[in-house]
A and B are shown apart, each in its own frame.
Chain A
Amino acid sequence: MVETILKRVAAFQERNPVVLLLAVFLVTAVFAFYAFQIEQDSTVDSMFGRDSTAMQLKNLVSNEFGSTDQLYILVSVDEDSDDKIGVRDIREPDVLESMDQLAANIREESSVSDVFSINDLFYAQYGRLPTTLEESKQFFSEVQFDTSPFVSQDYTALNMVVEMNIATKPGALAEAEQLMLEKVEESPKPVGVKTILTGEATLVNRIMDLLIGDNLRTIGIAIVALAIILSIFFRSPVVGIIATIPVVLTVVFLAGAMRLLDIKISMMTAAVGAMMVGIGVDYSIHMTHRMINLIRNGKTVLAPIAVPSVGGALFASAATTFFGFIAMLSGSSPSSILQGTVLSIGIVFAFLATMVTVPAFMVLYRRYWFTDLDRILLRVKKREKAGPSLLQRALKRVATFQGRAPLALLGVFILGTIFVMPGASLVELDTDNENWIPEDDETIESLFDIGAKFGGLTSQTFLLMVDPSSQEDGTITDLRDPEILRKVAELEVAMEDLEFVNSLESPAKTIADMNNGRVPQDIDQIKELIATNPRIDTRYNKDYTVMRLSAVGDDLLLDGDSELAYDAMLFEAETVQFPEGTVFVGQGSTAQWRELDEILQGDIAKTTVFGFVLVFLVATLLFRSVTVGVLAFIPIIFALIWTLGIMGYIGLPFTVLTSGMLAIVMGIGIDFSIHLIHRTKEALSHGETIEKAVQFAMTSTGEAISLSTLTTMIGFSALILATLLGTQRMGFTLAIAIFSCFIACMSIVPAVLTIEHKLRNKQSLW
C-alpha cells in the first residue's frame, strides 16, 4: 500500500513540482507564523510532574509559609572605574544613603515582602545612618551584630537581601525580577559604584536565555555547516541547498506545531531542534543522493524511480524511529514525555519534508538547471564503468571481507565490544548545576561572589511534617509536642557540628532560649511561649502539622559539593530518629535535583526497554520477517554498548538532556540498519550472490550512510560550541552515539545477513 501511494505521489511530483512546492510554501508560511509565536518557559519546575514530591513540597511551603525566593542586590566598588572622585570604600555615607533610597523604593513593590541591608543594623544601633566615613568605620569596628551577610570583609561590596513574595504561577518570578532590575538600574548611585541584581531566580532565567540562545545558534550553525558539506559532497551548491531545505522546514514545522500544541521552549525541548537537524538530514541525504545519481546518469524521469524505492526505505526507517521516540512517552518525567512527543512529531515532519520537497526540487533542478544538451552530454561523458570513489573502494574492501569471512568480522567486532563494555559501568547521571552554569557571566559570577564574600546567606530548607497516612492512636498530631522539639534541638546540635552549617534555624532553639536553655516538658507551656513570641509561629504552618527548619551556611546553594552537604544533613536527621508518624524531608533545589535524578534513572531503563520492544515489533511487521526485526535490533544493542562504553571511558555523564538519548540512538541506528537490509535484499532479489549483494549495498547505501553519519555528527558537534556545559555534553554524547551506530550497523548488518543467507542455503561460513 505504501508503495502504491509513493508511486502516485511520485507521478504527481514529476508532473507538477511547482504546484507541490507552492503548497509546501503556503503550509510553511502558516507554520512559520506560529513558530514565531512560540513561547519560552524558563521555570525549572516544568521539569517535574505535578505529582512529583518536589512540586508537592514546593506548593506546600508556598501555601503554608509564603514564598521563600530571595534576590540579592550587590553594591560594590567599580574596579574598572578610573574616576578620581569615585568611591573607594563601600562604607562611604553616600553609598549607604543611596542604598537606603533603593530599599525604600523596592519596598513599595507588592512582590517584595522585606528588604534587609547593613542600614538596618545602623538604625538598630544608632537610629540613623552615619554622616562621615569615619563615623561609618567606627560603627563597623564596634558593631555587636554579625555584619557578614551584608558587607564583604575587604569593604568593597555591600549586599542587600530582597525577600520576594511571589505567586506560584509560571513566569511570575521572572516578571518580578525584571521589575527589580529596572528599579536597580534607575536608582541613583555615587560615582565609582556599581549595582548588580542576582539570585537563584536570576540565575535560572539567565540560564534559560543562554540555553535557548545556544540551541538556536547551534541550529543556525549546523544548517550552514550542512549546506556547505552537502554542496561539497554533491559537487553543487544548488543540490547542497536542496538537500538542506527539508531540515530547515522540519525545524519551522516543529516550532509551529509546538506553538499549536502549547509546548514551550524549555530546558527539555530546547535541544530538540538541533537533534532534528541531525536526524532530518539523514532522510534528505538518502533521497538527494539517489536523485542526483539519476540526473547524472542522464535519466529523464526522476521521481517515479527514486520516490518509491528510497521512499519505501525512508518510510520504514521513519516508522521505526517514530516508535523509538514514542517509547520515551513511557517515561514518567515531563522531560522524557515532552522530548518523546516533540521528537516523534519532528520525525513525521522530517520524513514528509524530505519526501515532498527533495523530489520536487530535484525535478525542477533537472528541468531548468540543465539544457537537453547538458543532459545528453552527462550521459555521453559518463564513463562506461565509473571509477569508484576512495570511500567506495574502502567500503568495497570491507564488504568483500564481510562476504568472505562474516564470522571472523563478527568475532573482531565482539572482541572490540568486550574491550569497550567495562566503560559502560562508569557512566554516571549528572544533574549538577554545573551543567547549566556558564563561565564568564557577570550575573552568575556575582551570585558566586555573594557566596564567597558574604557569610550565612545560603540555606537548605527541611520540613518536618505529621504524616497524614499514619494517624494511629498515640501518634503525634501537633509539632509543638515537647518530644518533637527535643529531637529538633538534638538535630540542631548535630547539624551545627557540620563544618558547612553555621546554624539550624528552628523553633526549638528560640523556645529553649526563652526557657533557660531547655525545652519545656509540657506542651501547654510551649504554647504559651510561642504566643509571646510571634516569630516562632512563622516556623509552623497554621495547624502546627508542618515545621520549617533552615540550615544556614555560607555556601550551601551553588557549591559543587551541595549534594554531599545535603546528604550529610539528611544523614544527621536520620540518626536523630524523629518519632513515628512524622516525616522529615529536604526541600528546595538540591532536593528537587535529587528527585529528578531518580525519575530520570527510572526513565532511562523504562524508555530503553520499551523502545527496544517497539522497534523490534515495527521492523518485524514492516518487513514481515522476524529475522529482519532481530537484525535491525542487534546493531542498536552494540551501538548502545559502544556509546555507553566510550562515555564511561572519557568521563561523559548522562544529563537531563541526554537521558532520552538511548531512544535517539535507537531511532538513528535503526535507520542505518534498515537502509542496509533493504538494499541488500533488493540486490538479492535481482539474483545477485550474497557477496555481490553485500558489496552493492555497502558501496551504494553504505556511502550515503557514511555521508549521513558525517553530517549528523557535525550537526550534533555544533552543540559543542554552546555556552552551557549541559548542551556541550549533549552534542558530544550524540556525536559519539551516531558514530557508534555507524560502526555497529556497517560491521554487523552485512556480516549477519551473509551468515543468515549462507546458513539458509547450506553454504560454508568459512
Chain B
Amino acid sequence: MTKIIVVQSFRGGTGKSTIASNLAVQLATLGKRVLVIDSDTRSPGIHALFGLTPESLGSTFTDYLLGHARIEDTIKDVSEQLKMPNGTLSVIPSSIILGDIATNLSSRRNFNKMRRAIEYVVDSTDVDIILVDTHPGVNEDMLLTAALGDVVLSVIRPDNQDYQGAHVTAELMRKLGSNVHLVLNKVHRRQPPTALRRKIERSLELPVIGVLPFTEEIMFAESQYVFSQKHKSHPFSKKIAEIATSLGDINEDNIKA
C-alpha cells in the first residue's frame, strides 16, 4: 500500500523543500522505495537538492501537466547518484524553463491529471512512499494533492504570520478530512521546544510531529546536497530521522482516524 505524504506550508520560505528532500532520503535509508513529486510548478527547486541540473531534467511534471509527456517518462531514479544503501529514491521534477512555467500558468489546466499521476504511481510502480512538495499557500496544486494525501505535513515557523496561516490550513484540512501533522521548523535555540510545541498543539488543535532547530549550516550548504545525508549526527538530521520513523509508523488506522 503506497503512502502519500504531502508537504505544504501557508507561507513561503518555511523550509518545505528542504524538509521534503531530507525526509525522502531518511525514508529511503529506512529501506523504503520513495518517490518525490515536485508539484510546485511555479517555483520549482527540489531537483537541485538531489543533484539534478536544469539540463538533466528531461521530461518534467510540467510537461506531463501540459500533455507533452507521459507521467512514466518523467520519473528520474536518483538512488545511484545519492548512493542510497537500502531503499530507492526517485524524483519527478518540475520544469525550470520560464516558457514552460508561463505556458502552464496560462493554459487551461486539467485538474484531474494530478490524481491520475498519483494513481499511475500507486498502481503501476512498487513505490512505498510518495512525497509531494507543493507551492506555498492555498492554491490548486496544494488542494489537489492535500485531498489525495494520506498525511499532510504542514511546515510552520515560530512566527505569528505562520500561526495565522496555520489556522487557515487547519480549517481547510479539517474540511478535506486530511490527516494533518505540523512540523515546527527554524526554532531558535533560545525558544523552549516542548513549551512551544504544547502551545501550538493547544491553539491549533493539531499534532506537532517534530520540532526542527534553526541551523545556519543548512544555509551554508546552498541546496547543493541533502543536508541530513551528509551530516547524519547533526541535531537537525536526527530530528528529521525521528520524523521519518514516525511517518513510517503511521499506519492505516491512524490515517483513517
Contact = CB atoms under 8 A, between A and B. Distances in A.
Interface of A: 298, 371-377, 379-380, 382, 384
B107 interface: no
A466 B114 CA distance: 92
A-B CB proximity, top 10 nearest: A371-B111, A373-B111, A376-B143, A376-B147, A372-B111, A372-B112, A372-B115, A379-B175, A380-B175, A373-B140
B110 interface: yes
B172 A380 contact: yes
A374 B175 contact: no
Given A371-B110, A376-B147, 13 more contacts: A372-B114, A372-B144, A372-B147, A373-B140, A376-B176, A377-B143, A379-B147, A379-B175, A379-B177, A380-B172, A380-B175, A380-B176, A384-B175
A254 B172 CA distance: 49
B120 to A, nearest CB: 15
A303 B95 CA distance: 40
Contacts of B177: 379
Nearest to A383: B175
Nearest to A382: B175
A371 B116 CA distance: 12
A376 B145 CA distance: 10
Contacts of A379: 147, 175-177
B175 A373 contact: no
Contacts of A374: 111
B4 to A, nearest CB: 14
Contacts of B140: 373
Contacts of B110: 371
Contacts, number: 31
User: Which of B110, B175, B176 has the largest count of A CB atoms less than 10 A from its CB?
Assistant: B175
B176 A373 contact: no
B200 to A, nearest CB: 22
11 contacts: A371-B112, A372-B112, A372-B147, A373-B111, A373-B144, A375-B147, A376-B176, A379-B147, A379-B176, A379-B177, A380-B176
A671 B43 CA distance: 58
Interface size class of B (residues with CB under 8 A): 10 to 19
A741 B17 CA distance: 64
A379 B110 CA distance: 19
A376 B144 CA distance: 7
Contacts of A298: 176
User: Which of A373, A380, A382, A384 has the largest count of B CB atoms less than 10 A from its CB?
Assistant: A373
Contact of A380 (B111, B115, B143): B143
A379 B112 CA distance: 16
A280 to B, nearest CB: 34
A189 B176 CA distance: 83
A298 B177 CA distance: 10
Contacts of A384: 175
A379 B147 CA distance: 10
B71 to A, nearest CB: 15
A382 B110 CA distance: 23
A283 B147 CA distance: 33
A372 B140 CA distance: 10
Contacts of B172: 380
Contacts of B144: 372-373, 376
A380 B144 CA distance: 12
Contacts of A372: 111-112, 114-115, 144, 147
A69 B114 CA distance: 79
Contacts of B147: 372, 375-376, 379
Nearest to B171: A384
B112 to A, nearest CB: 5
Nearest to B113: A372
A382 B175 CA distance: 8
Nearest to A375: B147
A54 B111 CA distance: 72
A377 B177 CA distance: 13
A384 B175 CA distance: 8
A374 B172 CA distance: 15
B42 to A, nearest CB: 16
Interface in B106-128: 110-112, 114-115
A88 B68 CA distance: 88
A377 B111 CA distance: 12
User: Which of A371, A372, A375 has the largest count of B CB atoms less than 10 A from its CB?
Assistant: A372
Nearest to A367: B112
Contacts of A373: 111, 140, 143-144
A379 B175 CA distance: 6
